[in-house]
Amino acid sequence: MQLDLAALARHVSLVASDWLSFEEKGVAIMTWIVAWGLAAMASAALAGFLAAWKNRDYSFWMAWCFILPPLLLWLAFMPKHVGPRPRRPSIDELEHIENRDLMH
């Protein structure tokens, strides 16, 4: 199935017009939702590969690029991270850090 960008643009631009029927507006809105969903999934997948290549936390970037696909451009222009890849502490490590003052 090929995505027809011209048809998508027509659907999106015609949503606000008064002469469309209720069904045509529904199709236009559904087309927009599907296009946004596909863009979000593609952006998240590309962000994972790009973040790994730039030595960044890939799960962080995949999640945010899924929510806001334009963030992929920000990631693309960021420099590579020098040194080891940043990692999030495990739950056990976080609990140890939070409870270290309570042990005394």
Environment class of 42 (CB within 10 Å of its CB; exposed 0-12, middle 13-18, buried 19+)? middle
Q: Hey, what are 12's tokens?
A: 């999106």
E strands, the chain, where? none
Q: Give the pLDDT confidence of 5-62 residue by residue, as tens digits.
A: 677 666 666 555 556 677 778 888 899 999 999 999 999 999 999 999 999 988 899 9
**Which is nearest to 76 in space by CA: 65, 91, 60?**
65
Q: Label residue 100 by pLDDT band (50, 70, 90).
A: confident
Q: What is the pTM assigned to this prediction?
A: 0.63
